[in-house]
Amino acid sequence: MTRLSGKVTIITGASSGIGRAIALRFASEGARLVLVDRTEEVREGGEPIETVLRREGHDIAFLKADVATEEDVERVVDEATRRFGRLDVLVNNAAIGVGKPLVETSLAEWNRVLAVNLTGPFLMARAAVRQMMTQEIRNEARGRIVNISSQHGMIAAPEDIAYGTSKSGVVYMTRQIAADYARHGIICNAVAPGKILTGKTGRAVEERWLEYSRNRTPWPRFGRPDDVASAALFLASDEANFITGENLLVDGGWMAS
């Protein structure tokens, strides 16, 4: 498959979960990847993504970086363009949560969640767009951004005010970038996952939250990382050239019910 043949793509939060699934899917479609994470450790267990993709013969780079740090972000984009010559796609996936309601959330926790989940995509998008603006148009676009938002950017995130607020900001940022830079040939969309089981432990799989999600999801299963990867692939491909500023729900009907 060659839907992303030769497209230079940065994916943040690529070591585990949804980011890992996106990396595997994009590699299978011919993308040249710059994978970014703070660690190579796989939360769900297994081999590091870099090891897996290199063994399969894919052309990749893995960079340790904190997306909330301006210097790290600039280094990532500089390295991607130095190595591959341009930047076609950015996938802003890196995110964290603290799982606390308003009165239990410390200022430090609030600041860190917004730094990773909102400032991180801002910094990555800013650096990416600056690079994309210098490039020639190919297949109608100079570059594409795919942000990973959440259905909890549109409705309350139960007992997780920092996470929900940050994802709401990502939804807005997606529309703003799309509107401001469409005339320059830059496409920006988001994917909003519903309940996705990545293999992560802890709060995400506590029975009370699983039951809450079952009650909200009409489709008779929860989502899988590959469901999100498929949506991200579509938005990153030339098939989505006339789609920009959208927040594509991948939620099994959560927001429809």
Summary mean pLDDT of the chain: 96
Q: Cα–Cα distance between 69 and 63 in angstroms, integer?
A: 14
- Residue 194 lies inside a defined structural domain of this protein: yes
Is pLDDT of 175 > 70? yes
Instruction: For residue 1, name the pLDDT band (cuts at 50, 70, 90).
Output: low
- Residue 27 lies inside a defined structural domain of this protein: yes
Domain holding 46, by residue range, is: 8-251
- Residue 133 lies inside a defined structural domain of this protein: yes
pLDDT for residue 164? 97
pLDDT for residue 117? 98
Q: Cα–Cα distance between 147 and 158 in angstroms, integer?
A: 22
- Residue 2 lies inside a defined structural domain of this protein: no
Average pLDDT value for residue range 82-92: 97
Q: Cα–Cα distance between 255 and 218 in angstroms, integer?
A: 10
Rg (CA), the chain: 17
Between the alpha carbon of residue 208 and those of residues 152, 161, 203, 213, the distances in Å are: 17, 18, 9, 9
Span 229-248, pLDDT tens digits: 999 999 999 999 999 999 99
Q: What is the pTM of this model?
A: 0.96
- Residue 169 and residue 161 in contact, taking contact as beta carbons nearer than 8 Å: no
pLDDT for residue 238? 97
Is pLDDT of 141 > 70? yes
What CATH number is attached to the domain comprising 206?
3.40.50.720
- Residue 205 lies inside a defined structural domain of this protein: yes
**Residue 110 corresponds to which amino acid?**
W
Q: Cα–Cα distance between 80 and 10 in angstroms, integer?
A: 8
Q: Cα–Cα distance between 220 and 132 in angstroms, integer?
A: 41
Is pLDDT of 119 > 70? yes
- Residue 256 lies inside a defined structural domain of this protein: no
Span 18-76, pLDDT tens digits: 999 999 999 999 999 999 999 999 988 899 999 999 999 998 999 999 999 999 999 99
Q: What domain count does the chain have? A: 1
Is pLDDT of 99 > 90? yes
Active site (catalytic) residues: 163
Span 195-231, pLDDT tens digits: 999 877 778 788 988 999 999 999 999 999 999 999 9
